Amino acid sequence: MNDLKQIPPASVRNTPPLLEVLTRIFAPARLQRGTVLEIASGSGYHASAFAAALPHLTWQPTDPDEDARHSIAAYVTDAGLVNLRLPIALDVRDAGWPVRTAEAIVCINMIHISPWAATVALFEGAGRTLSHGQTLLTYGPYAIDGDFQAQSNIDFHQSLRTRNPEWGIRDVSEIAPLANAHGLVLSERIAMPANNHALIFTMESQ
């Protein structure tokens, strides 16, 4: 195994349920071809698994962290998939993203471990990048109208705030209006294992 490859246990656990969602919403009948831009790809474990399961799509991983990009590149090399690209340095808060167009965007486990400004920038960037009918998927723990869904999420939220006061589990009720402001509508909320949710946003503006 390539020593640069990180293997986060959470990524190993959540890949199968995430693939169930992705293979449905990105099925060839719904998205025949194109590029999926992954924001904050982390280790690259997800990117490798998703590209292998969705060969009709090109997967473009990104991350602002250099060590993460080294791990992603190791996964890309070991996978040897023609539809899995080398990682790009991308911070959602940058005024101009290096990828200007994509057919879909995926962002996993970023929103709760970043400042609110990063969530704002994610939706601003998605609004610039996606076209009518295209999809942004976000995944992680969320509160629903003030309900954290489980005591474990409350404890996790408190631990995040202790680590960084700008981090924390966000409420869907504050994310949905933000999405709307950038032409995206929350079209589906999917309950996932371990009290997580996948949020599917659809671009409605032209």
Tell me if 174 is assigned to some domain: yes
Tell me if 100 is assigned to some domain: yes
User: Closest by alpha carbon to 197, among 180, 176, 167, 177?
Assistant: 176
Provide the residue count of the chain. Answer: 206
Residue 195: what residue type? N
Tell me if 160 is assigned to some domain: yes
Tell me if 204 is assigned to some domain: no
Q: CATH code at 58?
A: 3.40.50.150
Sign of the Cα pseudo-torsion (62, 66, 72, 78, in order)? positive
pLDDT at residue 95 in the model: 85
Q: Where are the alpha helices (DSSP H) in the chain?
A: 9-25, 45-53, 66-79, 116-129, 151-163, 172-181
What is the per-residue pLDDT across 54-75, written as a single tens digit (0 to 9) for each? 999 999 999 999 999 999 999 9
Tell me if 4 is assigned to some domain: no
The percent of residues above 90 in pLDDT, for the chain, comes to 93
pLDDT at residue 29 in the model: 87
Tell me if 74 is assigned to some domain: yes
| Domain extent at residue 100 | 9-199
What is the per-residue pLDDT across 172-194, written as a single tens digit (0 to 9) for each? 999 999 999 999 999 999 999 99
**E strand or H helix at 184, and its extent?**
strand 184-192
pLDDT at residue 4 in the model: 86
Instruction: Compute how many other C-beta atoms are within 10 angstroms of the C-beta atom of residue 1.
Output: 7
Domain count, the chain: 1
Tell me if 29 is assigned to some domain: yes
Tell me if 205 is assigned to some domain: no
At residue 206 the predicted structure's pLDDT band, cuts being 50, 70 and 90, is low
Span 136-159, average pLDDT = 96
Measure the CA–CA gap between 162 and 93, rounded to whole angstroms: 23
